[in-house]
Amino acid sequence: MNYIKKIIIVLSLLMFLLPFVACSTLFPPPKPKPTVAVTPEKVELAFPGILRVPIVFTGTGWAPKEMVVVDMVLPPGVEMKGVKPGEDVGIAYGEADDAGNFKGDVPATAKLNTIFRVGWTPILSIDPKTLNPIPPGVYKIKASGADSGAIATTTLEFMAPVKK
């Protein structure tokens, strides 16, 4: 008789635990951590050649259809017109596809305004006398998901132009 009580208790426990063990929705798989990468990883600060070099950011693990904003983190001492010290400056953006993958290119205007810090004439053409490239070095890049708030980082190196 005691043996039957033990079997009933074990079966009752199994019936109680079975839904928790079998139901994967109670324990969903962890979400992939968002990533960001840049191609190329090193860019020469040569004008106007840099305008012909595509700088492309790609990433995975973002929310489907989420806008991903790519910012360059300005190191101390690097100033940019219209940007307060300690603020980051946007250089690209992209929308994640249904699988959470995104791609964003740095447009020519971002290269001119952020990398070369150019001035503009009243007729909205570049004032070549105002070319003031950022200092060569490794810059932190931060990608942020507009909806999720997720953040991923990488680096982009700007190299001094090669003298010919």
Q: Mind listing the domains of the chain with CATH numbers?
A: 29-159 (2.60.40.10)
CA separation, residue 83 to residues 40, 87, 91, 114 (Å)? 26, 6, 13, 10
Query: Widest CA span of the chain, in angstroms?
Result: 99
* Secondary structure class of 79 (helix, strand, coil): coil
User: What does the pLDDT look like over 49-75, one tens digit per residue?
Assistant: 999 999 999 999 999 999 999 999 999
Percentage, residues of the chain above pLDDT 70: 84
pLDDT at 13: 58
Mean pLDDT for the stretch of residues 35-50:
94
